[in-house]
Structure 1
Amino acid sequence: MLKGWTRRSVLSGAAVVGSALIVRPTLAAEYRFSQYHNQAASGTLHKNLTAMWEAVRAETNGRVETTVYAENNKLPGGDPDALKMLIAGEIQFFTLMGGIIGTVVPAAEAQQLPFAFKSAAEAHKTIDGPLGTYIGEEMAAKGMYLFPVAGFDNGMRQVAAIPRAVTTPEDFAGMKIRVPPGQMMIDTFGAFGAQPVTTSANQIYDALKTGKVDAQENPLAILEGFKLYELVKYVNMTNHMWSGFNAMANLTVWKSLPPDIKDVIERNFTKYVRRQRQDQAALNAKLRDDFVKRGLVFNEVDQAAFRAKLPGVYAIWKEKLGTKCWALMETEVGKLG
């Protein structure tokens, strides 16, 4: 009788050659990692990260074990604190939107230039190309490794409000809107006449419920994942920005890994980033009908009036991002500003 092995370990370490069963025991974990992200456990990001790390565990025969923490393991400081932990090596893997990375690496904010991308697919193509490579180089200087195919999808962002519809910039007058940390978000909504308020993702519900904010802006899947549909009334299809979650590792930890482990992790990030993009697109597409049935009111928005408010924002950010970053973006999406 095989002692000390579970049936699962026997099967995961077994190979069949002809009629013989060769059993290889699952190895003890050599590497134990933490993977943080800011989304709900019910979302497509958590599900795909969990599946990805399970695939890594299986392919490395148990040498790599990773615990995936939804909502950043309830860190009081949310994403900014988790980013500090990643850079310090206190956590090894993290996914985060470019705007918040931009507080440390300004070039990352390019991912959220307002009205830069017409669709999530265009954003994926751009960040998988030379612009993404450039941002990764900038991140490496700050102690972060950005995977070659890193952009898990969040989707095109829409404004969801409690008191009124938002179809023109004037509708933002006096409106307090929750935005994630990141100066570009603050500059953009300030240009529209709103009052931006920053909170972590898992605090949006309370901010809306208590009146700290009147509105928030996120892809439709976030309304579902954090149950914001219980509070908002008007969903305004502004499509003002794309956002996603960049897959990152602590650079020192990444460099210390043997090539075979790196290959397994990187290959699976590529696979599951692409899978999650499909899952998220399907979810965002079906949610509009679901929300209409729940009584939410959808409004189409003419972007021209909003774009007309942004020349000053574009000018500021062209200087902040630098000519190389700006040129890489315009090569993909056309002239901005």
Structure 2
Amino acid sequence: MHLKKFLVICLVLLLSVSLLAGCGQKAQQPQQSQSNSQPSGSNQSGSQDKIIIKLGDVLAEDHPHTQAYHFFAKRMSELTNGKVEVQVFPNSQLGNQRDMVEGMQMGTLQMGKSMMTVLSGFLPEVQVFDLPYIFRDRDHFYKVLDGPIGQSFLHEKLPKIGLIGVALFDAGVRSVYNSKRPIKTLDDMKGLKLRVPESPIYIDMMFAFGATGTPMAVGEMYTALQTHVIDGAENAPIFYNSQKHYEVSKYFSYTNHIMTPDVLLMSKKFYDTLPKDVQEAVLKAGLEAQQYERKLWQDLENKTIEELKAKGVEFNEVDTTPFKEAAKKVWEKYQDKLGKDLIQQIVDTK
């Protein structure tokens, strides 16, 4: 009898515990459901979080391209009423240019800037922009970029490799600088070991000029110049100044061999996730940043040269006729690969 009463009491206790536990679970369910119903990326108040865009480059903070990125960031914030925040990372903080291009293709980086030279590893035909002396002057350069050739590159070719072309920046006219001697004739190039971007065209160009082209990342250049691992390099005066290469390489010679654009890029994977109004803002702010950068570059170029002269840099003019003649060998080597018709279209642009 006592055993029956004991079993009944135990059964009643078990049922009571189960009912209490069930009530507790039901009380929690609405709160859990509410949490799961919140959209991804929203904050506790229910409003959308900012869209964060990280934008990387290898260049210094005071470079015109970096200043254009800050302009782009400001315009993106204005055009989206503060919904988008662009964070700028100069000085190779997010890796070298190839790293950033690959990151954008994978969707792990939202934005970055690349030379056409680096992009040629992903889209070989863009090497046409690197052919020495293909552009007659800056006016010709801009007409090609803003015309059908440049726009086809931005809006048709780049998306096929997972990138969105946002802007085409002026990167100046590239010339040779070194620590050994001024370059006045083609013969003065003989024996020089000069840093070049990682591009077969640049290497072949230096060979045609009688020098040796050595590929090297931007971040390694100053030390290599300082320790005479290389004799010099080639780039525009603004780059030469912003990287402080004048401290270790004082002869700047106007060979003016290449005028090539740099391109501001966005990951297509990231771009495709953006609302339509933000996509439109990206392209609008990009076009405005492009115009801002080009004016900034031209205004700064002459000023920079005067500052460099005051710092002891020796500038000298060069007879480029024999350089252009030597460059024909490079054109002949690459014309079939890049397309004779495309090269001719650039040359014929008026």
RMSD across aligned C-alpha pairs, in angstroms?
1.8
| Mapping of residues 1-337 of structure 1, within 5 Å | 28-73=48-93, 75=95, 78-136=96-154, 137-147=156-166, 150-332=167-349
Aligned-residue offset at 1:99: 1.2
For residues 135 and 323 of structure 1, the distance between their equivalents in structure 2, rounded to whole angstroms, comes to 17
Q: Is the 8 A contact 1:107 1:138 kept in 2?
A: no
Asked if structure 1 preserves the Cα contact closer than 8 Å seen for 2:163 and 2:266, the reply is: yes
Verify the 8 A CA contact 1:134 1:325 in the aligned structure 2: no
CA distance in 1, matches of 2:205, 2:227: 24
TM-score, reference length from structure 1? 0.85
> Where does the alignment leave 5 or more consecutive residues of structure 1 unmatched?
1-24
Aligned residues: 304
Distance 1:184 1:29, change over 3 A: farther
Q: Provide the TM-score with structure 2 as the length reference.
A: 0.82
Give the conservation status (yes or no) of the 8 Å contact 1:100–1:109.
Answer: no
Moved more, 226-235 or 286-295: 286-295
Match of 1:15 in 2: none
What is the alpha-carbon distance in structure 2 between the residues aligned to residue 318 and residue 139 of structure 1? 21
SS in 1 for 2:228: coil
**Bigger shift: 80-89 or 250-259?**
250-259
Q: Is the 8 A contact 2:254 2:317 kept in 1?
A: yes
Larger radius of gyration: 2
Q: For 2:99 and 2:209, locate their aligned partners in 1 and report how far apart those are by CA, in whole Å.
A: 29
Which 4+ stretches in 1 moved above 4 angstroms? none
Distance 1:113 1:311 in 2: 9
1:61-84 deviations in Å (ceiling 9; x for gaps): 222122111023152xx2122221
Contact 2:104–2:268 (Cα < 8 Å) also in 1: no
Q: Provide the rounded CA distance (Å) in 1 between the counterparts of 2:56 and 2:261.
A: 15
Cα deviation, residue 138, structure 1? 2.4
Give distance in 2, aligned partners of 1:287 and 1:33: 31
Q: 2:87 and 2:247 mapped to 1: Cα distance?
A: 31
Q: Which runs of 5+ in 2 are unaligned?
A: 1-44
The Cα of 1:59 is off from its aligned counterpart by 2.2
In structure 1, C-alpha distance between the alignment counterparts of 2:48 and 2:67, rounded to whole Å:
25
One-letter amino acid of the structure 1 residue matched with residue 62 of structure 2 = S
Paired amino acid for 1:97: M
> d(CA) in 1 for partners of 2:256 and 2:145?
18
For 2:283, give the aligned amino acid. Answer: E
Give SS of 1:309's match: helix
Percent of aligned pairs sharing the same letter: 24
For residues 52 and 236 of structure 1, what CA distance do their matches in structure 2 show? Answer: 33
What SS does structure 1 have at the residue aligned with 2:92?
helix
C-alpha offsets along residues 3-40 of structure 1, whole Å, 9 cap, x if unaligned?
xxxxxxxxxxxxxxxxxxxxxx9x64342221112210
Q: 3-state DSSP class of the match of 2:69?
A: helix
Go from structure 1 to structure 2 and tell me whether the alpha carbon gap of 1:55 and 1:133 turns closer, same or farther (over 3 Å shift): closer
Deviates most, 272-281 or 282-291? 282-291
